Amino acid sequence: MYFCSSQSKKSPFLLKDTFFVDFLIVFIFVIILVYFLLIYLFLKTCDQYLFVRQNLEIDLYIFATSQLNTMFCKPHPHSRKLLQQNIVMLSRFFFSSLLLYFFFPIFLFFFFKV
């Protein structure tokens, strides 16, 4: 009979498509979580960054005045280490945001276009 046909017109790629869509959703969710974690770490180190920036300005002032032979003092020993750590953190934050907002949409566009 026509209405009782056991053969249904299912897509042979239905299982693959659902797996791919689920994988894509989980992948995007993980990237968003990592991005918010990086934002949290950036905001956590923001106070440190301001402290290091103030120390760096003091170090620059001390360097300028020592060059004029008006004052001589050694820079704060921890300011350069904190500055290097914050530069690394800011570069990671920048490249992760670049990856998320620039390369990932381009990848998705070309992947779905093909």
Task: For 70-83, write each residue's pLDDT tens digit.
Answer: 444 455 555 566 66
Mean residue pLDDT of the chain comes to 62
Per-residue pLDDT band for 28 (boundaries 50, 70, 90) equals: confident
**Percentage with pLDDT > 90 across the chain:** 0
Core vs surface per residue 59-94: b (16+ CB within 10 A) or e:
beebeeeeeeeeeeeeebeebeebbeebeebeeebe
